[in-house]
Amino acid sequence: MNNKNIDYGKIKNNLQNYIEPNIYYCCQCGKCSAGCPAVDLYDFKPHQVISLIQSNRIDEIVNSSAIWLCLECDICSNRCPENISIAAIMNYLRVSTWQKNTKKVKNISIFYKLFVRIVQFFGRSYEPGLILGLNIGTGRFLNDFDIAVDILKKRKIKVLPEFVKGRKKISKATKKYL
Ligand code: SF4
Ligand code: SF4
């Protein structure tokens, strides 16, 4: 599947009508980017993401690392003088485009899909399954294997999965993320 299948018009419509109607009040002051702890890893800083949306260049954001590396810490939103929820925008862009497997961030989208599926099944995260699935999905079978052995020896994570009570409800609630 390539990016031609993404309906950018619909994404923009949803962003400005439902996710963050204040998006056009952005004055490009840069306060969001100045406070972002992940900004050095981004190819587009948070204020640039907003600017690209305003100028109908959402395709460039979908192919960027910014939306995938956002920690959703909400510092940007709290610093914004126009009360724009940048974290919600980042999250919406991620959720609405992850299945397109954009080339640059393919491994991140594999992680995302796997994580949501595991939470749907067990009702919570299951780290060994996540690590194994990610290594298989990315073709890097022994990636971080030495670290995983150490972590297991120190009993930092459980080998067997736990099933959370009421996981059907969790599964239903997470459907919108896939
Ligand atoms: S802090 Fe708010 S107004 Fe300033 S650049 Fe960021 S989104 Fe725009
Ligand atoms: S929510 Fe994302 S973009 Fe905003 S400050 Fe945190 S990491 Fe940066």
- pLDDT tens for the chain, 178 residues: list them: 445 578 889 999 999 998 998 999 999 999 999 999 999 999 999 999 999 999 999 988 887 888 888 999 999 999 999 999 999 999 999 888 876 656 666 787 788 889 989 999 999 999 889 989 999 988 888 888 888 888 888 888 888 888 888 888 888 888 877 7
Burial pattern 29-42, b for ≥16 Cβ within 10 A else e, equals eebbbebbebbeeb
Rounded distance from Cα 17 to ligand 1 centre (Å): 18
User: How many structural domains is the chain composed of?
Assistant: 2
Rounded distance from Cα 55 to ligand 2 centre (Å): 21
Domain of 112? 105-177
Q: Which of 100, 127, 149 is the last residue of a domain?
A: 100
Q: Which of 100, 116, 148 is the last residue of a domain?
A: 100
79 and 46 in a common domain:
yes
139 and 124 in a common domain:
yes
Contact 7, 96 (CB under 8 A): no
Q: Relative to the CA of 28, which ligand 1 atom is closest?
A: 5
Q: Which of 62, 84, 100 is the last residue of a domain?
A: 100
pTM: predicted TM-score of the whole model, two decimal places: 0.74
Instruction: List the helix and strand counts (H, then E) for the chain.
Output: 11, 0
- Asked if residue 45 has its Cβ within 6 Å of ligand 1, the reply is no
Pairwise CA distance, residues 97 & 15, whole Å: 13
94 and 109 in a common domain:
no
